[in-house]
Amino acid sequence: MKGATTHRYGMVIDLDKCTGCGACMIACMAENNVPFRDDESDKLLSLTWMRIFRLNNGKPFPEADVCYLPRPCMHCEGDHGHSPCVSVCPATATDYSRETGIVSQIYTRCFGCRYCMGACPYKARLFNWWDPVWPDGMEKFLNPDVSPRVRGVVEKCSFCYNRYQLAKNKAFLEGRRELEENEYQTSCTQACPAGAIVFGDLNNPHHQVHQLVDPDMAHGGRPRNPNAFRILERLGTNPKVYYLSSREWVRRSGDNTIEGEGKLKSH
Amino acid sequence: MNIGRRSFLSFLIGGAAGTALSPLPWKLTDDISIWSQNWPWTPVPATGEVTYANTTCTLCPGGCGISVRKIDERCVKIEGTPGHPVNDGGVCPLGSSGLQVLYGPARIKTPLKRVGERGQGRWMAISWEDALAQTADKLTELREGGQPQSVACLSGRTYGTMPSLLQRFMAAYGSPNFMTVPSMRDSYALTFAAMNGQTAMAGFDTENTDFVLSFGSGIIDGWGSPVRMFRANSAWQGGRGKVVQAEPRLSNTAAKSDIWAPIRPGTDAALALGMAHVIILEKRYRSDFVSNYTTGFDAFKTMVMAGYSPEKVAQITGVEKNTIVSLARSFARASRPLAICGRGRGEVPGSMNEFMAVHALNALVGVINRPGGVWALPEPGYIQWSGPDLDAVAIAGGRRQRLDGAGSSNPAASLPNRFFTTVAAGEDYPIEAMFISGANPDFDFLNNQRVAEAMAKIPFVVSFSSLMDDTARNADLILPDHVYLERYEDVPAPMGFQRPIIGLCRPAVTPQFNTMHTGDVIIQLAQTLGGTLADAFPWDNYEVCLQDTLGDQWDTLVEEGYAMDEGFSPAPWADMFGSRKFDFTAAGIRNGFVPVPIAGDDITYPLVLMPYDSMRVASGAIGNTPFMTKTVDENVLLHGMAFVQINPVTAGSLGLRQGDKAELTTPAGKAEVRTDLFEGIMPGVIAMPRGMGRTPYDKKLMKHGVSTNPLVSSVEDPISGLEAAWGVRAKLSKA
């Protein structure tokens, strides 16, 4: 990897604990002023920074099993020093931060070419096909820390960057340069009623995220915990969102495997 | 200078190349994209001072502590209160989208009087003076006419000052017809009354359980206090305990359980008795408890030994014999096991036979009032109002038979289910006026066509709803309450919580519209009616009443947001069962497994439809918020059409493929649906989420899908009279 990243904020989601309730999705929408329309059942057109996928083991009754997988932006840090979306953006509307490891999205720079959406292997990027409209009175609950987007721009999960900024400001006023683990938490992490989401600095061995997955930084942060996995590991995008599951079929659904394939390999 | 073709082209190309190499195009692109995003209609949320208001959520009976983030006088986000004993910082989907209720277009902004036909949606805004005067006039007229019993009241809440004020009003006025909306809480209370021999609420010490045997309870689908149960489940997942889920469908709870035992629908009690058989046969029961503190064990033993061997139970339930034996063994072997029931969220009270069979299992392993077990909690006792003094009219009216038949021959506290049937049939005396607070019977009750028929016979229906729900829509007068974020209220006894606790719901914002606290409405009505009614409500307003009632606890509540009896421990066996022993032969269980006869014959209706509960679909009086509807998967709801889950084998035999449109028919009704092929559902069973398909009073709120309530025929439990239908027989044909 090129250049050192001071902090590497990342997330660990315990799929054994995740109940698929959707509280993270809603906490995200509320924090980030995500709009809604009359009919959002066509998920290709529905804006949800955090989306929960329902995995199944493909077995017939009664061996069937399902597992939910919440998917925020993976905040990739590719082997070659760039995330798939960052490298294709012609407007520099999305960038990889060497300070936090967060992939940003600057709405006012985005002109809606959607190359990034094509490049993102996780479908974590969403396009505003319509102007957002809040029913009369509902604009009252909009959060001033996050600007509402307009038609024609791409948006995605920012790891609640506004919360990072607030925490940094507060720390600065108190004469500190570094944040405590609990000072900067994303909205979904805070809301999760099952306590399934953990957020923190993967570079910091004292942080829970580091301890849970034991990332191998020499190999793009690949998890050493055998129950931990990342989605599409072999693409080499090195996501900073890790998943934990005690069920093998769930871990295997994290990547495209062919039948009988053994341990997952990096490319 | 002569400009030739060549030099002209050179100029053009050179100019273009030069411009392209300059920052100009990039700067322009940037500027244009910024300029093109500066639309006046894109809201720019105002900044301001950030504060947090701590209060208690009342959107479900869970009683979570919530923290409302405010920017000046706007609420912008609801988060869980860290350190709160119920939810410790977590929040559910409904709770976190509560601001869409507060600021949503479904709010009723002022008192409304119906001007068109009922349900037509034509209203006239009236002043509070008029609204209260019209209500008081009607009440005075009925009372002077000697028919105070013809006024009925339905409250969505069971405990606290609000239902108590309503109940007190009805008593002082002279009507016996005060009802609350029953749930599994009522079934547990009746089970405790019959078997434990005392009036108590059920609390579950799930934080300390290490083996949960759940008979269809949606531990992570909304049962009990949802966030609390999620936390317990996470602890079990982390190695603190095992979960066994007996259910015909792979619910989220079943999927997360350690063992999922797919069981034929409605045979849960038989499985419990089969496990009791194994436990007794192998002498794995807690003999110190059974021999010292129980009665009727021998009869119970004879009954389960004779009729519920694992072989027989396997035939009834479809659960394999070996599974029954091994489940019974691991349940009895666990150090702190717990058996629970109440299907899904526990909104339908259910069969007493089932509750008693499950409670008998808890008794066998001796976990009643023990760590990790099921606890008998005292009902909240802080409401100590004297009286009320009754005048002659009130005494005469109060002596009349309740229309729901509860209380006298029947142990249940209220049976609104039967009330609506009685009123619809026009039996006994007529109901002339009906007050509805915090409930939405026109939508929520099974077979809700009956409710509509009953309502049509009641000439004066008053709704206290803050939202234009199905019931308010069909009312004659709406006296809108503040929503929970605008009002004071005590929130005692979160569903299933194991310690006595009162949460304080208090205003995070001033009322947004011309609404009035229902407590104030009641106090003002009583004072207008005068006489003993006015004497029964001596408070200036609801807030004074609440402070008076809570007495010493008020300061704690204001400071902490809740008041909990930290040191509470349940009564030891010797105290609890010393004089009145645990009864293994209560009426509901004496004769073994008694299935609930769901409607429909299996020739016309070869399938069984079971409504299921999902955390992403709100049922109850509050419907789905737009955010919640947004989280619903595309194989549950697509373009307004709901899906039924069906096993691929069953679907194949009906010629149905994924996403096909189909007609769903039950003895009670019909609906257009789509099919979702799901390997996790038992062949022959189909399932749909409860809570969708509300009347579209607002495009963005819950117009979607199909309600299961009109499709499921109501079945009364023979012991309690409470709603016991867990499903209905159904037919699915390709549309």
- Which 3-state string (H, E, C) describes B512-538? CCCCCCHHHHHHHHHHHHCHHHHHHCC
Is the pLDDT reported for residue B409 higher than 70?
no
Residue B336 forms part of a structural domain: yes
Cβ of A60 within 8 Å of Cβ of B679? The answer is: yes
Closest CA to B271 of B212, B191, B204, B339: B339
Please say if the pLDDT value at position A2 is more than 50: no
Q: Across the interface, which of B33, B76, B639 has its CB nearest the CB of A109?
A: B33
Q: Identify which of A52, A67, A138 has the shortest CB distance to residue B255.
A: A67
Q: And the tokens for B43?
A: 């809201």
Are B357 and B433 members of one domain? no
- Which DSSP category does B2 fall into? -
Contact A26 B631 (CB under 8 A): yes
| Residue B672, H or E segment | strand B670-677
Q: Provide the total of helices (H) and of strands (E) in chain B, helices listed first.
A: 27, 28
Residues of A in contact with B648 (CB under 8 A): 60
For residues B519 and B127, the answer to whether their CB atoms sit within 8 Å is: no
Q: Which residue has the higher pLDDT, B668 or B32?
A: B668
Structure confidence at residue A1 (pLDDT): 44
Of B71, B220, B639, the CB nearest to A39: B639
Q: Which residue of B has its CA nearest to A90?
A: B26
Question: A10 and A212 in contact (C-beta within 8 Å)?
Answer: no
Closest CA to A67 of A142, A108, A14: A14
Terminal-to-terminal C-alpha distance of chain A: 15
Identify whether B65 is part of a domain: no
Helix axes B24-35, B5-21, angle to 10 degrees: 60
- For residues B416 and B320, membership in a common domain is answered with no
| For residues B329-357, average pLDDT | 96
What is the spatial order of strands in the sheet that A9-14 belongs to? A197-201, A9-14, A241-244, A228-229
**pLDDT(B119) > 90:** no
pLDDT 10s digits, A16-34: 999 999 999 999 999 999 9
Domain ranges of chain A: 9-252
Rounded Cα distance between B657 and A26, Å, is 32
Rounded Cα distance, B77 and A31, in Å:
7
- The string of DSSP codes covering B239-284 is II-EEEEE-SB--HHHHHSSEEE---TT-HHHHHHHHHHHHHHTT-
Question: What backbone torsions phi and psi does residue B92 show, to the nearest 5 degrees?
Answer: -90, 170
> In this structure, is residue B502 part of a structural domain?
no
Nearest residue in B to A15, CA atom: B256
Question: B90 lies in a domain?
Answer: no
**pLDDT tens across B348-400, in order?**
999 999 999 999 999 999 999 999 999 999 999 999 999 899 999 999 999 99
What's domain A9-252's architecture?
Answer: 2-Layer Sandwich (3.30)
pLDDT > 70? residue B342: yes
Residues B712 and B637 occupy one common structural domain = yes
What are the backbone dihedrals phi and psi of residue B477, each rounded to the nearest 5 degrees, phi first? -140, 135
Confidence of residue A161 (pLDDT cuts 50, 70, 90): very high
| Confidence bin at B697 (pLDDT 50/70/90) | low
Query: In the prediction, which pLDDT does B408 show?
Result: 66
Q: Last residue of a domain, which of B583, B615, B632?
A: B583
Q: Are residues B360 and B463 in the same domain?
A: no
Question: Would you say residue A267 has pLDDT above 50?
Answer: no
Closest CB to A196 among B97, B221, B234 = B234
How far, CA to CA in Å, does B526 sit from each of A206, B161, B481, B531, B539? 62, 16, 17, 9, 11
With b meaning 16 or more CB within 10 Å and e meaning fewer, what string describes B607-635? bbbbbbbbbbbbbbbbbbbbbbbbbbbbb
Let me know whether B685 and B698 are in one domain.
yes
Residue B40 lies in a domain: no
Task: Name every chain A residue with its beta carbon within 8 A of the beta carbon of B78.
Answer: 30
B549 and B626 together in one domain:
no
Rounded Cα distance between A229 and A219, Å, is 14
Residue B211's pLDDT is 97
Chain A's closest residue to B226, CA to CA, is A193
Nearest to B557 by CA among B50, B161, B27, B6: B161
Q: Out of A41, A58, A143, whose CB is closest to B77?
A: A143
Task: Kindly state whether residue B455 falls inside one of the protein's structural domains.
Answer: yes
Rounded to an integer, the average pLDDT of B88-105 is 94
CB pairs under 8 A between A and B: 225
B508 neighbourhood in chain A, CB within 8 Å:
none
Q: Across the strands, what pairs with B413? A: none
Instruction: Say what the pLDDT of residue B689 is.
Output: 95
- Report whether pLDDT(B690) > 50: yes
For the stretch B292-303, pLDDT in tens is 999 999 999 999
Q: Evaluate whether B574 touches B692 at the Cβ level (below 8 Å).
A: no
Q: Complex ipTM above 0.95?
A: no
Average pLDDT over residues B59-81: 96
Percentage of chain B modeled with pLDDT above 70: 98
pLDDT at B447 (0 to 100): 87
Are the beta carbons of B704 and A41 separated by less than 8 Å? yes
What are the backbone angles phi and psi of residue B185, rounded to the nearest 5°? -60, -40
Q: What is the pLDDT of residues B185-197, one digit of tens each?
A: 999 999 999 999 9
pLDDT, residue A266, reads 47
**Residue B306 to chain A, least CA–CA distance (Å):** 30
Q: Is the pLDDT of residue A3 over 70?
A: no
Tell me the average pLDDT of chain A: 92
C-alpha atoms less than 13 angstroms from C-alpha of B20 in its C-beta half-sphere: 6
In a shared domain, residues B317 and B393: no
* The pLDDT value given to residue B623: 85
- Are B270 and B366 members of one domain? yes
**What are the counts of helices (DSSP H) followed by strands (DSSP E) for chain A?**
7, 10
Residues B345 and B216 in one domain: yes
Peptide bond into B388 cis (omega under 30): yes
- Do B364 and B386 lie in one domain? The reply is no
Neighbours of A162 (CB within 10 A): 17
Structure tokens at B21: 């190499």
Look up the CATH number of the domain holding residue B447: 3.40.50.740
User: How far is it, in rounded angstroms, from Cα B544 to Cα B538?
Assistant: 10
Q: Is A155 helix (H, G, I), strand (E, B) or coil?
A: strand
Beta bridge partners of B340: B214
Which tens digits make up the pLDDT trace of A88-137? 999 889 999 989 999 999 998 898 999 999 999 999 999 999 999 998 89
Do B643 and B669 sit in the same domain of this protein?
yes
In a domain, residue B329? The reply is yes
How many Cβ atoms are within 10 Å of A179's Cβ, its own excluded?
17
Find which of B234, B240, B629, B674 to mutate to test the A interface (most A CBs within 10 Å of its CB). B234
**Residue B21 domain boundaries:** 5-35
What is the number of domains present in chain B? 4
Q: Which residues in chain A are closer than 8 Å to B630, comparing Cβ atoms?
A: 25, 29, 36, 40, 46, 48
CATH code (residue B661): 2.40.40.20
Are B368 and B389 part of one and the same domain?
no
Interface test with chain B among A69, A114, A140, A142, by most B beta carbons within 10 Å: A140
pLDDT tens-place string over residues B157-166: 999 999 999 9
Interface test with B, best of A31, A40, A163 (most B CBs within 10 A): A40
Q: And the tokens for B652?
A: 């194949």
Determine phi and psi for B511, rounding to 5 degrees. Answer: -55, 135
| pLDDT given for residue A4 in this prediction | 61
State residue B120's pLDDT score. Answer: 86
The model's pLDDT over B138-155, given as tens digits with 9 standing for 90+, comes to: 999 999 999 999 999 999
